[in-house]
Structure 1
Amino acid sequence: MKSSFNDIINDDKPVLVDFFADWCGPCKMLAPILKDVKAELGEGVKIVKIDVDRNQELAAKYQVRGVPTMILYKNGKQLWRQSGVLQKQQLTEIIRSHS
């Protein structure tokens, strides 16, 4: 998992990582928003969901203390990070500003 996570975030287009948990209410609200963002931006962004319960080491490494936490990467560098739910328009603008 570790090396593949590094491979994923080293993409030359924005990669939005969603750290989530199955038991998290706001995470369930975020899921359809992320689908809409992907539908709008298409190949302009990669969206990856990481289950913190199944990937505790990864969550600890990136200091994810609450879910959902979204982190935007490009070329392996963290560009933006926020916990909580954002609306589609906000997320789309953030991703576009780093494209």
Structure 2
Amino acid sequence: MARQIRGADWEAEVLRSPVPVLVDLYSKHCNPCQALAPLIDRLAGEYGGKAKVLKLNIAEGVEVATALGVSSVPTVVAFRGGNEVGRLVGLRSEQQYRRLLGQAGVE
């Protein structure tokens, strides 16, 4: 299951992570976000140890969402070495999220 973080956790959990990170920025009131949640949880289980798969409710991480230029949810962003390497906006196919992890160097 994907781990929930808050904006205060951002630097330690994402920017200073020794492994690639996939972050699902979502809202509790977003139907596509709710539809995506089971897939994000499944990816967290499959890629455990190779990557972190995290969730950030934009209501609890407004500063992070603003800094990333998030204007629509769900937005899923991949990071490697603290740098963004790719993002997907809106509900996409499972294969696209797997490719995004690949962009972050996860096999």
Q: Once the two structures are superposed, what CA deviation does each residue of 1:30-71 show, in whole Å capped at 9, x if it has no partner?
A: 100111112222211111111112222221111110000111
| SS of residue paired to 2:23 | strand
Query: Cα RMSD over matched residues?
Result: 1.7
5 Å-filtered alignment, 1:19-58, equals 19-58=25-64
Correspondences of 1:19-98 after superposition (within 5 Å): 19-98=25-104
Q: TM-score, normalised by structure 1?
A: 0.86
| 2: CA distance, partners of 1:60 / 1:97 | 23
Could you tell me the percent identity over the aligned residues?
A: 26
Q: Which runs of 5+ in 1 are unaligned?
A: none
Residues of 2 paired with 1:39 and 1:46: CA distance?
A: 10
Between 21-30 and 87-96, report the one with greater CA deviation: 87-96
Q: Compute the TM-score of the two structures, normalised by the length of structure 2.
A: 0.81
Query: Which of 5, 9, 17 pairs up with 2:10?
Result: 5
Structure 1 stretches of 4+ with a deviation exceeding 6 A read none
Is there any run of 5+ residues in structure 2 with no aligned partner, and where? 1-5
**Aligned-partner Cα distance in 2 for 1:54–1:69:** 15
What is the count of residue pairs matched by the alignment? 99
